[in-house]
Amino acid sequence: MEYTEEQIELANHLFSGECKFIAGSTAVSNLPVNNLPEIAFAGASNVGKSSIVNALTGRRTLVRTSHNPGHTKQLNFFKLREALVLVDLPGYGYARASKASIEDWTGFTRDYLRGRHNLKRICLLIDSRRDLKPGDVEIMKLMDECAVVYQIILTKVDKVKKDDVEKIISAIKASAKKHTAMHPEIIATSSREGYGIETLRAELAMLK
């Protein structure tokens, strides 16, 4: 989808505002009370999830990268201005999600996905070099079951040939066409180069 310069400017303004940590939850019982629209970020632990959230908000350390990928289990909530809440979901395994890590991820996270009325979208991050892994497909099935709209965001496109990006997008769309809750648009990004970040901001700003 193409966005106007005005839409891009408004989205950049939104994401340049105050963004502060408001809660870290490990159970449904301690989820923060929130009536603002929520956007959650999911992905394998080494996919660059923290880097994307930091790039969106123009910060380097809003979300810290764990030294032990796949170790963090809590949901972290960040309020952006008084307009949106960004939710950093636990990574579901390092490199290749194991059955045990998927089961661990799906417990509390499934409850959150099913019961959060103001959850507007999940950004499912996929490493552009790796294609869909079994763990990604399992999570997509879970989100289909929960009837929560999710959008695939390709990360690290600076590490693949520019001519291959559209091929990668087409291949993933073909592989994922049976997933009923998936948003049709895939956005390619690079947190290192800033590629696609303004487009992703504009897409998410439309949800507030």
Write down the pLDDT at residue 7. Answer: 97
Write down the pLDDT at residue 5. Answer: 96
Write down the pLDDT at residue 60. Answer: 75
The rounded distance, in Å, linking the Cα atoms of 152 and 87 is 16
DSSP assignment string, 86-129? EEEPPP--SSS--HHHHHHHHHHHHHHHHH-TTEEEEEEEEETT
How far is the first Cα of the chain from the last one, in angstroms, to the nearest whole number?
18
Write down the pLDDT at residue 62. Answer: 80
Go through the domains of the chain in sequence order and give each one's CATH number.
5-205 (3.40.50.300)
Residues of the chain scoring pLDDT < 70: 63-72, 93-105
